[in-house]
């Protein structure tokens, strides 16, 4: 926080073009937006937290149905997607690095690569979703379950449906977050082309990076919880 006694209008002369009127300095602006982004991520954790809670409760209640349903997911595709996302986090960090060392062209390049990796992830997800549709594993009126069952669990199919409900809601919300992130990245590409970001000011990049990493971390939790139950033991 600034301790200088700045007059509102006198200071306007040497304002950085990206400094908004309500802040006294770029530093204050940066601290504020970073704190704001962290708080936003806190709300996101609570948002996904409700789903993770539901997951934990039903998984402990219906372990065999969850394991059987998990086995219908393709863990190889999931693992590949995990790698793609981790790589995209790297390129996102590299874009910020490029801004810090003042290489404006590289910012755009790394952002575009990040976007491409994000789109790859979504493409793979589409393939997986399509597979669920063809096997009638999409919860709802057309849901069918013909795979393994458990004599101890008479409502096995219903319980696998709960797994798939959670699967689609969790991965679907995650995918929506990815799409939003890719949109923001697109906007940043345009702005970086205009030369808005450099060593002095690149806070939007950092905040978007925080968001992007967060979305990756959510996936890193989702992947084992959804794909690796029972480690696909036969």
Partner 1 sequence: MKDRDAMNTTRAVEPDLIPPDDMIDRPNYLNTEYGLKSWLLTRDHKRIAILYLISVTVFFALGSLFALLIRLELLTPEGDLMQPDTYNRVFTMHGVVMVFFFLIPAIPAVLGNFLVPLMIGAKDLAFPKLNLASWYVYNLGGLFTLWAIVNGGVDTGWTFYTPLSTHYSNSYVIATGIGVFINGFSSIFTGLNFIVTIHRMRAPGLTWFRLPLFIWSHYATSLIIVLGTPVIAITLLLVVAERVLHLGIFDPRLGGDPILYQHLFWFYSHPAVYIMILPAMGVISELVAAFARKRVFGYRIVAFASIGIAVLGFLVWGHHMFVSGQSLYASTIFSILSMLVAVPSAIKVFNWTATLYEGSVSYETPMLYALGFIGLFTLGGLTGTMIATLGIDVHLHDTYFIVAHFHYIMVGGTIMAYLGGLHYWWPKISGRLYPGFLSRLSALLVFVGFNLTFFPQFVLGYLGMPRRYWSYPPEFQVLNVLSTAGASILGVGYLLPLFYFAWSIRYGRRASENPWGAVGLEWDTTSPPPTENFHTIPVVTREPYDYTSEEVHRRTTQEEPVVYQLD
The answer to whether residue 94 forms part of the interface with partner 1 (CB under 8 A) is no
* Triad 156, 160, 165: Cα angle to 5°: 145
The answer to whether 161 contacts partner 1 (rule: CB under 8 A) is yes
CB nearer to partner 1: pick between 33 and 120: 33
| Structural contact between residues 175 and 122, judged by C-beta atoms closer than 8 angstroms | yes
Question: What is the nearest approach in angstroms of partner 1 to the Cβ of residue 176?
Answer: 11
Q: Does 66 bind partner 1 (CB under 8 A)?
A: no
Tally of helices (H runs) and strands (E runs) in the chain: 6, 0
What token pair was written down for 39? 């708080």
Q: Does 152 bind partner 1 (CB under 8 A)?
A: no
Here's the x/- map for partner 1, 204-223, by CB under 8 A: it reads as: --------------------
Q: How does DSSP assign 23-74, residue by residue?
A: -SSHHHHHHHHHHHHHHHHHHHHHHHHHHHHHHHHHHHHSHHHHHHHHHTS-
Q: Hey, what are 138's tokens?
A: 């999409």
Binding of partner 1 by 12 (CB under 8 A): no
* Per rule CB under 8 A, count of chain residues that contact partner 1: 47
Contacts to partner 1 from residues 168-197, by CB under 8 A: 169
Alpha carbon of 117 to those of 25, 110, 114, 125, 171: distances in Å? Answer: 35, 11, 5, 12, 17
Residue 233 in contact with partner 1, rule: CB under 8 A: no
8 contacts partner 1 (rule: CB under 8 A)? yes
Verify binding: residue 49, partner 1, rule CB under 8 A. Answer: yes
Q: Which of 14, 21, 76, 234 binds partner 1 (CB under 8 A)?
A: 21
Joined together, the tokens standing for residue 155 give: 């409502």
Question: Which residue ranges make up the site for partner 1 (CB under 8 A)?
Answer: 1-8, 20-23, 28, 31-33, 35-36, 39-40, 42-51, 53-54, 57-58, 61-62, 139-141, 155, 158-159, 161-162, 165-166, 169
């Amino acid at each position: 926080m600034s301790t200088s006694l700045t007059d509102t209008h006198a200071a306007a002369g040497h304002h950085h073009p990206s400094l908004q009127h309500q802040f006294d300095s770029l530093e204050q602006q940066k601290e504020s937006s970073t704190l704001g982004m962290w708080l936003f991520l806190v709300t996101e954790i609570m948002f996904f937290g409700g789903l993770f809670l539901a997951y934990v409760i039903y998984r402990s209640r219906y372990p065999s149905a969850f394991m059987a349903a998990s086995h219908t997911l393709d863990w190889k595709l999931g693992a590949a997607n995990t790698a793609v996302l981790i790589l995209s986090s790297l390129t996102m960090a590299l874009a910020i690095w490029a801004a810090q060392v003042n290489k404006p062209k590289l910012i755009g390049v790394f952002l575009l690569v990040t976007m491409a990796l994000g789109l790859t992830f979504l493409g793979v997800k589409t393939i997986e979703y399509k597979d669920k549709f063809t096997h009638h594993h999409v919860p709802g009126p057309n849901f069918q379950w013909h795979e393994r069952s458990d004599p101890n669990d008479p409502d096995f199919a219903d319980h696998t449906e709960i797994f798939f409900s959670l699967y689609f809601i969790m991965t679907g919300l995650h995918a929506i977050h990815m799409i939003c992130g890719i949109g923001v990245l697109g906007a940043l590409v345009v702005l970086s082309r205009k030369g808005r970001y450099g060593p002095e000011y690149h806070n939007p990049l950092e905040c978007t990076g925080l968001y992007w990493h967060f979305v990756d971390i959510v996936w890193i939790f989702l992947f084992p919880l959804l794909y690796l139950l029972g480690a696909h033991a036969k």
